[in-house]
Structure 1
Amino acid sequence: MEQKVSASSAMPQMEQLIDVKQIWLTLLKYKWKILFFSIMVTAIASLVALSKPSIYTATATLMIESKQAKAVSVEEVYGLDTRINEYFLTQFEILKSDSIALEVIRKLDLTNNPEFNPALVEEQKLLDISFDIYELLPFLKGLRKPAPELSEDEASYRLEQRVLATFKSKLAISPVRKTQLVNISFSSTSPALAAQVANEVGNVYIESNLDSTMQVANKASGWLNERVAKLKADLQASEARLQAFLREEGLVDIEGVGGLASQELNELTSQLNKARDRRVAAESLYNLAQSSTNNVARISAVPEITNHPVIRDVKLAVSNAERKISDLAKRYGPKHPKMKAAQAELKSAQKNLDRELRQLVKGIGAEMSAARQAENTIRREIEGRKAEFQELTVKNARYSEYQREVDSNKQLYDLFLNRYKETSASSDFGSTIARFTDVAYQPLLPSAPKRKLIVLMAFVASFGFGCVVAFVLEALNDSFTNAKQVETTLGVSLLGILPLVKSKKDKLPTYLYYDDKQRAFSEGVRTIRTGYMLSNMNHDNHSVLVTSSEPSEGKTTSAINLAFGLAQLEKTILIDCDLRRPAVAKRFNLPAAQPGLANLIAGTHTFEECLVKDETSGLDILSAGLVPPNPQELLASDRFGLLLEKLKQRYSRIVIDTAPCQAVSDAYLLSQKVDSCILVTRAEHTRTGVVKHTLGKLVQQGVKIDGVILNRLNLKKAAKYSGHGSYYEYYGYAEKAPETAKVTKTEKESV
């Protein structure tokens, strides 16, 4: 199980290695083009970078105060407040504003500087060029539109706006993060001007703030002066109204009078409550006493009466008399003089108690009347005092109204008076909103253009772009570039490769097969011959059709050289069945009137008259002859079929060259009359889809496909960039092999 997992995990690594290798091979394939493109682009970028003037950047640093300092507060002069982010953002935008930039432009007279106003130099050049053009081409004068006339103000405004746009493009305001510092950078071709402008922007910003502060202070001082005068008049008027009211009402201190009246009213109310309690208590006691007038015992049981000092003393006397009788009764009888005296004393005490009780009841009635009278008197007094208090409350409300008006006017007057005095005292104090922490100095080195970086980036970008283009071209190239690609793409065997042979006008020599200097080509033909014969070893096949998908793929060359190779082993005939554009006769320099296949099928000539014997190779050749108007009908005729049957009895191998499959259908027609077929395709030329389509149609016709010949393949290039150098090594070995003009008897026997 562990071995299976390791094997499966190794597969993606193998695929990744193959992909990396293919990428490397693609880069090697296009390396000189990529390097040439990169060097050209880098050279152009170098020229452009060198042609651009050096730009110098100077930077000044300002610290912006969070609040404007005041002369009356030392803490505010040095105080910082970093909580107001919107304030700093506003100051940064003010530094970038057009008003600051225009002031700097006017101060430094930048409108007359060629760096900011290129029109000073270019206008004359344009005028000279236009003059020359109109002088050389007079007919263009009628098409020339006169320039619109502008007033002096409009022209000045437009010029200033152009200079302003150029100025702002060179100015950079960058706040330092989490600080109150801001960097003012300016770029120019002149280092002195760059430093001067950077410092001047900060100075103009500070001066503009001072001017605006002074203007605001002066305006505020004048406005405060007017307001103070008006508020003073309002305060005096309100105080006069208050004094008049006090005189009219005869009041000195209405607050004290009101407090005394309120205190008296509260005391009368308290007395009324006490009088009411006294009257209620007297009425209750009087009513109770009246209900018990005939019963002395009930009257004496009332707590208020019992607790009266007189009644308490009388009752004490009665109690003593009763106790005395009780003591004497223990020793004497009822008729004893002491007993009688004691009883007489008891009766006298009881009568005295009854008399005092009745007298007390009368006093309670008088007390009740007095309590009622006192209550009524206090109530009448309260009603009178209430009326007076209400009248006093109305006066107090009017007094409070006048007093509030006086107080508010006094507060406003004091506030504005203090502010006016502060403003007047500090109006001539020129506090700055910002100050320089670092002034700009003339830079020693240019900041732009970064020529080394431009050249490096140009090379990297162009090299990367060249690699991308190479990958795109390689992806779009669906032609055959190596031998292995033929078998993997088409699924058929590769008979062999014919290497690319350079020649004038792409016309190869007819007898290239016998050229000692082209050993690779000869070996390629022999390889194709061997592959063809091996594929038909167990079949009694004599005729083979050599065709291609498109014209100019080398089918005629392949057919001729295959016939040369077969002729060395067996008796072979080469037939040119391309009756539309025959090429075999031209290759062998046959006369134009030479009869051939068309004449033979038509019956105008005999076979011996049409047959040509090549002395160099011993190959029999049957050319196309005169081009007929109906080539397909001739090839489909029974006479052509009978001809092939007779030739099979006379020749061991019949090599037929025919028209391309995509151009006409002659090849498909001939494929039904031959034993097998060989398809020729041109390396790096024919698209794989076209070859697949041709093979598919041939297979549908039931044709036996012996294989594919890959023609005009650059062996060195294929070996170097495909990663498969076996073919090239093989052909290189063939070039070093001893010269072999003819096949030995051993080779014949092996074949």
Structure 2
Amino acid sequence: MFWPILLTLSEIQSINSRRYFRAVKRLFWRIVGLAFCITVLAILISFTLEKKYTAKASLLLEPPTPLTLSTEAKETEPEPKDLTKNGAMKIKKRDISGESYLDFLNTQYQVLASRPLAERVVKRMKLDQNPYFDISKFNDNQGLVLRIINDIRALLRTALPFLPAQTTPKLSDEQMSKRLIQFATDRLLASIKVVPVENSHVLTLEVETPDPSLSHRIANNYLQTYINDDLRIKKRMGEKTLAFMQERLTGLSANLEESELALLEFYDKQQLGTKNGSIDLGINTSDPVGAKFQLSPQLVQQMRSLQREVEINQHLYKVHLSELKSMERLYLLQPWYARILERASQPESASSPNQVLIVLVSFVLSALLGIFLACLNEWLNSVIRSVEDAEYKLSQRCLGALPYDDELHAGRSVSDMLKHDTKAPGGQFFANSLVDLSEGLYSLLSTKNTACIQVTSTLPKEGVSTVSIVLAFLCGQRAKVLLVDANLRERSLAKVLRLPKHQAGVVDILCGTHSVEECLVKNEKLGIQILSAGSPTPKPESLLKSEAMEGLIEKVRDAFDYIFIDSPAMHSYDDSIALARLCDSTIYVVKADGTHYELIQSMQYKLKESGNRIEGTILNQARFAQNESENDSD
């Protein structure tokens, strides 16, 4: 009786998994029905959805070779210390690779999905005048939803008058135009999707609208607008760069002219001439000792400073002029880094709704929902439904289960039910249940010193009398068995076995009006003897607690191998507590899907407090599939 305490964690988890698996199996057809209904509903809804067509266009991105300007002077030319800010500008090319290239692609991806680009497409194609992008037509299509929302708002404002009144400001034509463009831009951004192709320089633009012609026109115009914007930006940047270089070159030209004029003025002032294109400094070079200057050293230094300034300005002007011409050629000959790889064509079939996908997804999700609800119901359920339930929730050994029998509830007697043909519908199924129950019962009787067994339950109408008859019938095949009806209030055993109402029984014996032998009834079909409740009595509890009842049990113990006592429900009366003291053990009957398991536990604890032991439980009126019972019996 202590076997549940010795369960390992893995065994408990196995019991739990089996419990939920059986719950799903029991409700299998309901789950399938739920999934079927939801799937049919999803199909019907999919027919009402607006069909949309997707057009796809591809864009090839080739990263440009950026131009960088540096102020490094040429190594062959000396750099004056006082002209670091006027150094020669050099144009360098820098390759893009690695993370820089990924950054470039991500930037272009964001540009394609940006709002300014979408707004330019809206204005270029006048999409704000298209019915799909027109806010007034959109409100008309959503009229039912908006009407419901507006009705709810009006209802709330009527019920709650203290709420501030909502006023809609009147918009000017310009404001209305901006609002229309803004709404159309939002709809366009919601209709496009930019998808980068893995391991390539290609981006795919997908446009989805209800009009196939509109989808492919938007896709092509969108990419063309992106390329035109890029060219316009590149042209603007080139023009700004060239203008800056031209302005810089103009400044250098002015500096050169100014330095040349200063040098010529110095020549004229000192009356110097030129020989063979060079300046005559008036130096006597034939003097072997030392040169004699016609100019003073200060004038020579001033002249050389002016000459150096002219040379530097000439050099800067030539370098900037050369770089300006090179940059003009680069900007004119630099290739585009974005081009349309594949233009969108008009789609022939709708891309959404995908009815096949809707059917599969709705069926799978609804089936999972059904399984979840079945497991949740099993987890929240507080009644006993299966043998595993009884053992897990009550921590009691379950001897077996008796199925719900429609013929018995239709008025057929228990004796006929136990002897019915196994080839009849449900016959083999019921026979298998009896085999399982008999194995559990014989195992109990062979290991326990049990001769007098009480059969009781928590509440009335749980089938105690039926189970008592079945147990007596099973034991009666091998031993001499007496079945006693101790339910003196309802006398249910006589009703089930259809005994005469005037049949004497326990009450008559305890009152001394009849002997035991006069009250015994032999049932040939079941192979057992029966002692009914007998005449009605106003004090059943006092009779069951009397010494005469104790003497009756002791007397029949000597005459029979096994005695089964049909007792009243525990929750209704204390009769079962009085009988428990006279019996060796108790078999507890639990009606499937009937009684809260915590109430059963409290009644069992009350029974144990009286000194009686519960040898096991029997699940009655269980509803489970026939193949499940057959598998369990195997």
TM range (shorter): 0.5 to 0.7
Name the CA distance, whole Å, in 1 between partners of 2:257 and 2:31: 96
- Residue 587 of structure 1: CA displacement? 6.4
Name the CA distance, whole Å, in 2 between partners of 1:502 and 1:408: 117
Q: Which residue is equivalent to 1:165? A: 186
1:44-123 equivalences in 2 (<5 Å) = 44-64=41-61, 66-67=63-64, 83=97, 85=101, 86-117=103-134, 119-123=136-140
Q: Which residue is equivalent to 1:328? A: none
Letter in 2 for 1:151: L
Shift in CA distance, 451/584, structure 1 to aligned 2, threshold 3 Å:
same
Q: Which residue is equivalent to 2:344? A: 440
Letter in 1 for 2:348: L
Shift in CA distance, 462/213, structure 1 to aligned 2, threshold 3 Å:
same
Name the CA distance, whole Å, in 1 between partners of 2:339 and 2:532: 104
Shift in CA distance, 147/18, structure 1 to aligned 2, threshold 3 Å:
closer
Shift in CA distance, 182/513, structure 1 to aligned 2, threshold 3 Å:
same
Q: Which residue is equivalent to 2:566? A: 657
Name the CA distance, whole Å, in 2 between partners of 1:233 and 1:157: 50
Shift in CA distance, 537/403, structure 1 to aligned 2, threshold 3 Å:
closer
- Residue 105 of structure 1: CA displacement? 0.8
- Residue 436 of structure 1: CA displacement? 3.0
Name the CA distance, whole Å, in 1 between partners of 2:438 and 2:133: 80
- Residues 231 and 409 in structure 1, CA contact (< 8 A), matched pair in contact too: yes
> Are 1:575 and 2:486 counterparts?
yes
- Residue 230 of structure 1: CA displacement? 3.7
Letter in 1 for 2:56: T
Name the CA distance, whole Å, in 1 between partners of 2:369 and 2:146: 42
1:39 alignment partner, one of 29, 36, 49: 36
Name the CA distance, whole Å, in 1 between partners of 2:508 and 2:19: 54
- Residues 485 and 506 in structure 2, CA contact (< 8 A), matched pair in contact too: no
- Residues 65 and 96 in structure 2, CA contact (< 8 A), matched pair in contact too: no
Name the CA distance, whole Å, in 2 between partners of 1:484 and 1:398: 114
Residues 354-410 of structure 1, C-alpha deviations (whole Å, 9 max, x = no match): xxxxxxxxxxxxxxxxxxxxxxxxxxx8xx99xx89974x65654454344334433
1:10-409 equivalences in 2 (<5 Å) = 29-64=26-61, 66-67=63-64, 83=97, 85=101, 86-117=103-134, 119-123=136-140, 125=143, 129=147, 140=158, 145-152=165-172, 153-177=174-198, 179-217=200-238, 226-246=247-267, 392=297, 398-409=302-313
Shift in CA distance, 25/226, structure 1 to aligned 2, threshold 3 Å:
closer
Letter in 2 for 1:724: D
> Are 1:512 and 2:414 counterparts?
yes
Name the CA distance, whole Å, in 2 between partners of 1:409 and 1:649: 140
Q: Which residue is equivalent to 1:724? A: 632
1:371-520 equivalences in 2 (<5 Å) = 392=297, 398-415=302-319, 417=321, 434-463=338-367, 466=370, 479=384, 481=386, 494=399, 497-502=401-406, 509=411, 511-514=413-416
Q: Which residue is equivalent to 1:680? A: 589
Report SS of the residue matched to 2:632.
coil
Residues 326-372 of structure 1, C-alpha deviations (whole Å, 9 max, x = no match): xxxxxxxxxxxxxxxxxxxxxxxxxxxxxxxxxxxxxxxxxxxxxxx
Larger radius of gyration: 1
Report SS of the residue matched to 2:454.
strand
Shift in CA distance, 130/247, structure 1 to aligned 2, threshold 3 Å:
same
Q: Which residue is equivalent to 2:74? A: none
- Residue 708 of structure 1: CA displacement? 4.3
- Residue 236 of structure 1: CA displacement? 1.5
Q: Which residue is equivalent to 1:553? A: 462
Q: Which residue is equivalent to 1:642? A: 548
Shift in CA distance, 575/410, structure 1 to aligned 2, threshold 3 Å:
same
Unaligned runs of 5+ in 2: 1-13, 68-92, 422-426, 524-528
Report SS of the residue matched to 2:565.
strand
- Residue 583 of structure 1: CA displacement? 5.7
Name the CA distance, whole Å, in 2 between partners of 1:509 and 1:423: 108
- Residue 718 of structure 1: CA displacement? 4.9
Shift in CA distance, 655/21, structure 1 to aligned 2, threshold 3 Å:
closer
- Residue 200 of structure 1: CA displacement? 0.6
Name the CA distance, whole Å, in 2 between partners of 1:598 and 1:149: 93
Residues 663-692 of structure 1, C-alpha deviations (whole Å, 9 max, x = no match): 776544532222443222335667889878
Larger fraction in strand? 2
438-447 or 124-133, which deviates more: 124-133
Letter in 1 for 2:221: E
Q: Percent identity over the alignment?
A: 22
Residues 302-339 of structure 1, C-alpha deviations (whole Å, 9 max, x = no match): xxxxxxxxxxxxxxxxxxxxxxxxxxxxxxxxxxxxxx
Name the CA distance, whole Å, in 2 between partners of 1:94 and 1:522: 77
What value does the CA root-mean-square deviation take over the aligned residues? Answer: 6.1
Shift in CA distance, 659/206, structure 1 to aligned 2, threshold 3 Å:
same
Name the CA distance, whole Å, in 2 between partners of 1:523 and 1:712: 15
TM-score normalised by length of structure 2: 0.66
Residues 30-75 of structure 1, C-alpha deviations (whole Å, 9 max, x = no match): 54234323323332333343333332222223344544999xxxxx
- Residues 510 and 587 in structure 1, CA contact (< 8 A), matched pair in contact too: no
- Residues 209 and 433 in structure 1, CA contact (< 8 A), matched pair in contact too: no
- Residue 545 of structure 1: CA displacement? 1.5
Letter in 1 for 2:48: S
Report SS of the residue matched to 2:55.
strand
- Residues 60 and 201 in structure 2, CA contact (< 8 A), matched pair in contact too: yes
Report SS of the residue matched to 1:443.
coil
Shift in CA distance, 56/534, structure 1 to aligned 2, threshold 3 Å:
closer
Letter in 2 for 1:122: N
- Residues 491 and 532 in structure 2, CA contact (< 8 A), matched pair in contact too: no
Q: Which residue is equivalent to 1:671? A: 580
Residues 398-438 of structure 1, C-alpha deviations (whole Å, 9 max, x = no match): 44543443344334444555666788899999986543332
Shift in CA distance, 263/470, structure 1 to aligned 2, threshold 3 Å:
farther
Residues 692-750 of structure 1, C-alpha deviations (whole Å, 9 max, x = no match): 887787677654656543422447x2543661346xxxxxxxxxxxxxxxxxxxxxxxx
Report SS of the residue matched to 1:444.
coil
- Residues 671 and 703 in structure 1, CA contact (< 8 A), matched pair in contact too: yes
Name the CA distance, whole Å, in 2 between partners of 1:166 and 1:666: 78
Larger fraction in helix? 1
Letter in 1 for 2:210: T
Name the CA distance, whole Å, in 2 between partners of 1:50 and 1:535: 64
Shift in CA distance, 616/203, structure 1 to aligned 2, threshold 3 Å:
same
1:730-745 equivalences in 2 (<5 Å) = none
Letter in 1 for 2:414: L
- Residues 38 and 466 in structure 1, CA contact (< 8 A), matched pair in contact too: yes
Letter in 2 for 1:55: K
TM-score normalised by length of structure 1: 0.58
- Residues 490 and 692 in structure 1, CA contact (< 8 A), matched pair in contact too: no
Name the CA distance, whole Å, in 1 between partners of 2:535 and 2:615: 25
Q: Which residue is equivalent to 2:533? A: 622
Name the CA distance, whole Å, in 2 between partners of 1:485 and 1:589: 31
